[in-house]
Amino acid sequence: GENVEQHPSTLSVQEGDSAVIKCTYSDSASNYFPWYKQELGKRPQLIIDIRSNVGEKKDQRIAVTLNKTAKHFSLHITETQPEDSAVYFCAATPGFQKLVFGTGTRLLVSP
Amino acid sequence: DAGVIQSPRHEVTEMGQEVTLRCKPISGHDYLFWYRQTMMRGLELLIYFNNNVPIDDSGMPEDRFSAKMPNASFSTLKIQPSEPRDSAVYFCASSFGGEDQPQHFGDGTRLSIL
């Protein structure tokens, strides 16, 4: 089955710096890769997603890149702000509507 | 749109008791998912439904867990009998059909089994 690995598990940056979170997946059939942000005690919320026919997608300060050959995808946050502090999860869809999540990255943005 | 609605938000009960978690998906969504989140195991898919029919229950940990979806606007996840190791946050999510359709999560039920 699909296995999604996510790194790093924790990431501390200064406000204004960039943050990068990386994920790898194992199933070449996966074709949809969403990213979720989860604040403490809250639900996971979709922040950006990318489909396998696209190499990069941007939404304001957030971007995601996908390398299907290498089976990895990354989340990039520029000009980080304290409110970006949360746990971020990547996921892959190996088909049949299932999402397999990574283990999460705890991002801390210090003022 | 009210989003995915789960109840109760918190549940504390004693070991051995029956626990029932409830979920109302977003209107029009034809997929419904139940997840469990713990520090040790992260976000795990337990079961999902398409048009009220269970499609994959391979994530259900054991026979003590059961899920139903009697109609398009309601689903339950039941644990009987409950055990302390079932303590977790249980999320329900829903989506439209299609492998690239985003899943929208409810606020979750924080379950504590004493």
**What residues of A are in contact with residue B91 (Cβ under 8 Å)?**
43-44
Residue B61 neighbours by CB under 8 Å, 6+ apart: B46
Give the 3-state secondary structure of residue A71.
coil
Which residue among B31, B48, B108 sits closest to A43, beta carbon to beta carbon?
B108
A51: tokens are 């489909």
Task: Name which of A5, A99, A105 to mutate to probe chain B: the one with the most chain B Cβ atoms within 10 A of its Cβ.
Answer: A99
Dihedral Cα B59, B41, B70, B99, nearest 10 deg: -70
pLDDT band at A23 (very low <50, low <70, confident <90, very high): very high
pLDDT at position A93 over 70: yes
pLDDT band at A52 (very low <50, low <70, confident <90, very high): confident
Residue A49 to residue B56, Cβ atoms within 8 A: no
Residue A103 to residue B42, Cβ atoms within 8 A: yes
Q: How many CB atoms lie within 10 A of CB A59?
A: 10
pLDDT of the residue at B1: 62
Tell whether B55 is within 8 A of chain A (Cβ). yes
Residue B100 to residue A31, Cβ atoms within 8 A: yes
Tell whether B82 is within 8 A of chain A (Cβ). no
H or E, element range at A59: strand A56-59
pLDDT of the residue at B85: 95
Task: Name which of A27, A43, A52, A93 to mutate to probe chain B: the one with the most chain B Cβ atoms within 10 A of its Cβ.
Answer: A43
Digit-coded pLDDT (tens) for A59-80: 999 999 999 999 999 999 999 9
Q: Which residues pair with A90 in a beta bridge?
A: A35
